[in-house]
């Protein structure tokens, strides 16, 4: 099978970005009627998500010849398609009226604005260039077949696809978005796993049994015990599986927000890009996996009670039918961006309407759950929707979060007062935040977290860059920091002093906090604003430990498997921080292997 949109194509940009230069040049269509330029190459910049994006635009008398991105600071793996695709779209259409890349809107906007400025300098009639180019012609309908069909090219889907192939299957992976990655590619990267018996686990007094206890009890004992056991007992083997394919992790585990224990393993590569570089390397080295982007799965094909394929729609509206010889895996993610579904099932939060943003990528709209319902799959625990107190006030994303680990930071409200145990469960912290003025907190850290301005947070952003962009604030003293963020200096100083007393004594404070390491006593000090944001939907399709989809009568649906956030019943009412990447890898591997073997 030959992929129309290969997964490798997406990451060619990743390598090019390291050189900070990417060239997209092609013939292009003729310029709009009457459009002329002063021939030459023009350079301009526009503000992206992480600073300026600079482009060079070459024009002839009547054509945009090329658009080059010379320099940018956008996040690799997330912005790649905008950095590569937007310039190509402008050249191909000879128009500035091109679509932004979902999930990379800031980067897309920056490339378009910088190109616009360059073309204006070249004497272009910008108004004419804002007319869309010709629409793409509808492509022919397509019929394909493979042993295993996977719906979704996020972390769970890619794990399932690679695992299925390792178990002898040919694979087609369908992804409705223009890029792979789902929520995983922009995740913080923390993956919980216990290497039981290792020096690290012994030092941290950690065990698989403790991981089970904290996961199960952290979800108020509402998770399926068998699924929780499967998760924790296969966690370290999944880390080793990734390592066997070349993925690298930092040597020491840490405590991620809401993780409750230092067992999160952080990839060397930024955010979630390491997972996809790993899967990409496997796919490039092996034949038999096709990844089709811009392909939206619409319906499961059922014959004689067995799921045997998927009907999908291509980018131009054409029908794509993929028959599965052995099995179909639904790995399409949750519904964090579907406001109607959030509101329909919400029982816990004051509101989950459009005023509450989400960390999720735009494609997290619950499609797989709805497809499962159409074939009588049981849907469980949809009311279990996790929020974080760590959303960017403008976008809801986790980027810009200045905390590096739980032990070294505090949360204060706009009055400069702490209001919660910062080492508590995620739901506990977020509910407390809903009760604060403006539903807003400030994370406060010091030079223990950022000894140099070039030190990066968990999202590959330097603290100097965040301060320069106005997304974080810096003060040489606690009082100076308080002035910059608009909280009473005396309150913040007293708050920090009281916190430091408990760091010294290692005793629980008024909020019950027990996780400490160093005091906040070393300038400069930093603060970043955060708000509640929808992070993870823990309800979905019911599965068993072998990832078979279970119907409303408690029976296995033949030929159908599911993994990742599209499933429900693993995490209960609250997911521990760091368990999501474990979930998608553990159950993605199981789903792929079982689908390949028809088990």
Task: Give catalytic residue positions.
Answer: 426
CA distance 403 to 450: 10
State the number of CA atoms in the 13 A half-sphere of 409 facing the CB: 26
Specify whether the CB–CB gap between 31 and 63 falls below 8 A: yes
**200-206, long-range: CB < 8 A, 24+ apart:** 200/252, 200/253, 201/263, 204/253, 204/261, 204/262, 204/263, 206/261, 206/262, 206/263
Residue 497, classed as helix, strand or coil, is helix
Residue listed under structure tokens 């996961």: 215
Query: Residue 165: which of 287, 274, 324, 8 has the closest Cα?
Result: 287
115 exposure class (CB count in 10 Å sphere: 0-12, 13-18, 19+): buried
State the number of CA atoms in the 13 A half-sphere of 528 facing the CB: 29
CA distance 474 to 508: 29
| Count of positions (residues) in the chain | 599
Across 243-339, the runs of DSSP E, i.e. the strands, are 264-265, 289-292, 296-303, 306-313, 319-330
Question: For 405, left (φ over 0), alpha (ψ -120 to 50), or beta?
Answer: beta
Instruction: Please provide residue 66's backbone torsions phi and psi, each rounded to the nearest 5 degrees.
Output: -160, 155
* First-to-last C-alpha distance (Å) of the chain: 24
Dmax of the chain from CA atoms? 76
CA distance 70 to 409: 37
Residue 495, classed as helix, strand or coil, is helix
Residue 465, classed as helix, strand or coil, is helix
336 exposure class (CB count in 10 Å sphere: 0-12, 13-18, 19+): buried
CA distance 286 to 300: 28
Tokens of 441: 């907190």
Cis peptide before 357 (omega within 30 of 0): no
């Amino acid at each position: 099978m030959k992929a129309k949109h290969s997964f490798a194509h997406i990451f060619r940009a990743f390598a090019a970005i390291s050189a900070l230069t990417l060239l997209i040049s092609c013939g292009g269509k003729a310029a709009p009627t009457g459009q002329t330029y002063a021939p030459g190459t023009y350079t301009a910049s526009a503000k992206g998500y992480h600073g300026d994006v600079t482009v060079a635009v070459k024009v002839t008398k009547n054509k945009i010849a090329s658009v080059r991105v010379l320099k940018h600071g956008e996040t690799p793996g997330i912005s790649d398609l905008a950095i590569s695709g937007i310039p190509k779209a402008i050249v191909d259409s000879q128009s500035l009226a091109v679509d932004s890349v979902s999930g990379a809107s800031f980067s897309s906007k920056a490339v378009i604005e910088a190109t616009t400025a360059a073309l204006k300098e070249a004497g272009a009639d910008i108004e004419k260039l804002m007319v869309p180019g010709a629409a793409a012609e509808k492509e022919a309908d397509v019929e394909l077949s493979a042993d295993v069909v996977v719906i979704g090219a996020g972390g769970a889907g890619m794990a399932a696809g690679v695992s299925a192939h390792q178990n002898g299957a040919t694979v087609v992976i369908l992804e409705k978005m223009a890029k792979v990655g789902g929520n995983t590619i922009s995740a913080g990267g923390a993956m919980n796993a216990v290497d039981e018996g290792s020096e690290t686990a012994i030092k941290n007094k950690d065990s698989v049994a403790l991981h089970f206890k904290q996961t199960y009890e952290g979800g108020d004992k509402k998770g399926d015990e068998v699924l929780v056991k499967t998760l924790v007992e296969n966690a370290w083997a999944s880390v080793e599986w990734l390592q066997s394919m070349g993925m690298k992790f930092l040597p020491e585990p840490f405590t991620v927000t809401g993780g409750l224990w230092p067992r999160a393993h952080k990839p060397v590569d930024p955010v979630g890009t390491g997972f996809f570089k790993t899967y990409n390397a496997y796919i490039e080295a092996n034949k038999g996996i096709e990844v089709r982007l811009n392909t939206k799965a619409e319906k499961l094909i059922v014959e004689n009670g067995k799921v045997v394929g998927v009907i999908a729609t291509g980018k131009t509206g054409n029908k794509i039918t993929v028959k599965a010889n052995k099995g179909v895996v639904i790995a399409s993610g949750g519904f964090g961006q579907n406001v109607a579904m959030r509101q329909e099932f919400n029982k816990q939060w004051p509101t989950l309407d459009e005023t509450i943003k989400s960390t999720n990528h735009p494609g997290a709209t619950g499609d797989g759950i709805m497809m499962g319902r159409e074939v009588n799959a049981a849907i469980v625990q949809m009311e279990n929707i996790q929020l974080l107190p760590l959303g960017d006030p403008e976008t809801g994303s986790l980027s810009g979060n200045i905390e590096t680990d739980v032990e070294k930071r505090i949360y204060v409200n706009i009055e400069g007062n702490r209001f919660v145990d910062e080492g508590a469960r995620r739901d506990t912290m977020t509910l407390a935040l809903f009760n604060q003025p403006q539903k807003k907190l400030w994370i406060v850290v010091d030079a223990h977290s950022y000894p140099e301005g070039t030190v990066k947070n968990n999202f590959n952003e330097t603290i100097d860059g965040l301060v320069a962009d106005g997304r974080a604030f810096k003060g040489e003293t606690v009082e100076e920091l308080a002035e910059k963020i608009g909280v009473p200096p005396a309150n913040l100083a007293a708050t920090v002093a009281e916190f430091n007393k408990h760091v010294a004594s290692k005793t629980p404070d008024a909020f019950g906090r027990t996780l400490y390491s160093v005091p906040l006593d070393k300038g400069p000090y930093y603060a970043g604003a955060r708000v509640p944001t929808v992070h993870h939907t823990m309800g979905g399709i019911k599965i068993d430990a072998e990832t078979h989809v279970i119907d409303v009568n408690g029976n296995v649906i033949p030929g159908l498997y599911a993994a990742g956030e599209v499933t429900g019943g693993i995490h209960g009412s609250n997911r521990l921080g760091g368990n999501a990447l474990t979930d998608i890898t553990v159950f993605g591997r199981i789903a792929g292997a079982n689908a390949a073997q028809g088990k």
